[in-house]
Amino acid sequence: MRQLGMRRASLSASLKIGDRRGCCRTPEEEEVYIPFAQDSLVKQWSSMQNVMDRNQEKSKTPIQRNKYLLNINVGGKLFQISYKVAARYPVTRLGKLAIYTDPMKKLQLCDDYSVQKNEYFFDRDPSIFHYIFHFYCSGVLWVMDEMCPSNFVEEIEYWGIHLKYSQRCCRILLEEKQDELSEYLKIQKELEAELEPLDAAEQFEGKFLGRFRKMIWNLIENPYSSVAAKIIAVLSSFFVLISIVGMTLSTVEEMKHKTGKIWMEQLEMICAIFFTSEYLMRLISSSSFKNFLRAAFNAVDLVAILPFYIQILFENLDEGDTLYHEELHKVENVSKLGKVLKLIKLMRIFRILKLARHSTGLRAFGFTMRQCYQQVCCLFLFIAMGVFTFSALMHSVEHDVPGTNFTSIPDAWWWAAVSLSTVGYGDTVPDTVLGRMVAFACISFGIILNGMPISILYNKFSDYYAKLKAHENETSHSLKLSRRIRLKERVLHKLSECCRADPRYHH
């Protein structure tokens, strides 16, 4: 009987006589105080059930979170912050989550919500949220040096926190890192644009004679595409060097008498024909005529071939003037035409710039000059200031000395420029003690001036050269792999055709 009484008492163990709170409790409180209310209102009783099962079921009930704390699950890590603290910043995401009463608005602020655990889930970086959590606790936003600036700015924008809550030192650090990152990305973009022709083979798809133009383009623009393309690149560099050597030797009197003018003209004609054919092949294979005209290397190619044809045109005009016009003013025009012709012939020296198309070092040097133009212009400004200052000082000190070369300030410019460059030809020297002191100051200023930009330019040149070389090596390696794959596919295709043609494989 005692056992039966205990079993009957277990049916209403959580109910007390005179306790009316059970009638007005919320569903959550019912789950805590009445263990069997989770499944059904009336629990089935078994005679074999132990009286202590009630305590076992009570231990299985979920732990209720504190209703005064906001449970935030960020990337699998749980953070708890009070509603009162989060509500201090109502503009932020957690502040809105704390003050909103509409459940739909709260769900729009988070990625997911767990009803059982009363947790708001956010699929964000938990390592950065540590600093967001610290901001709500202390009111100060800390920025660590090891953080990625773009990722950190993206995270604080997501959580609705302004950078003004951080300390001034942290803001300066973050702005410096942002500037460095933006400058790095800008340089990377320009380096990719510098090597863009190596990746432009897809632009010929759907164009007129696309396959033929693509084949010519690979031969001319991409020396890593095939052996024939490498041979053409070597020939182009060879003709550039031959042209420069021929132009140099044509000014030597002994070479003029030994070889004659005809041999030099024939060499120039052969080089001009090769450069013209190379330029026309680039023009035909170009996917965009506008981009072709805008390219700097194509402008160099045009300058390399124009002097030859302008020289032919002027020589024909020269012959016409001497045959049909013998007046004095016509002869003067012919002499002026000859001076213009000499100037045009001098333009052939720019052919050496064609080597930059096949030289990584020259391309890196040109890219360095474009990136460091501000430092270079600043250097020339300092040189000009030094030349004007020290030439004026030297003239004021030395102009009374008999037989001096510093008769005027412009006459002292050459001395000041040579002294600032620390070359010191010695063709013009001061004679007085004050003049030598001015010369010493000029040379000292030149040493300091020349030492400043050299390290900056060298470091940037080394960096750009390494990046260009790495990109070229990567491109050549990928092209070699693609050629091997195509070769294997051809071999397998031929083997399959042979197997199909052999009657022994049909049985």
Tell me the pTM: 0.58
| More confident site: 208 or 62 | 208
- Reported as a pLDDT band with limits 50, 70 and 90, residue 78 is very high
The phi, psi pair for 69, rounded to 5°, reads -110, 145
Third-level CATH fold of 371-493: Helix Hairpins (1.10.287)
pLDDT grade, residue 385 (50/70/90)? very high
Give residue 437's pLDDT.
94
CATH topology of domain 69-193: Potassium Channel Kv1.1; Chain A (3.30.710)
Q: Tell me which of 233-242, 406-415, 450-459 is least confident.
A: 450-459
Report the pLDDT value the prediction gives residue 481, as an integer from 0 to 100: 76
Residue that wins the pLDDT comparison between 235 and 12: 235
CATH 2.60.120.10 fits 204-357, yes or no: no
- Per DSSP, what are the bridge partners of residue 77? 74
* CA separation, residue 222 to residues 201, 215, 280, 367, 481 (Å): 10, 10, 16, 20, 15
The structural domains of the chain, with segments of one domain joined by +, span 2-59, 69-193, 204-357, 371-493
- Contact between residue 72 and residue 122 where contact means Cβ atoms under 8 Å apart: yes
Distance (Å, whole) CA 310 – CA 273: 14
The structure tokens listed for 266 are 């024939």
Residues 6+ apart with CB under 8 A from 217: 200, 201, 204, 285, 286, 287
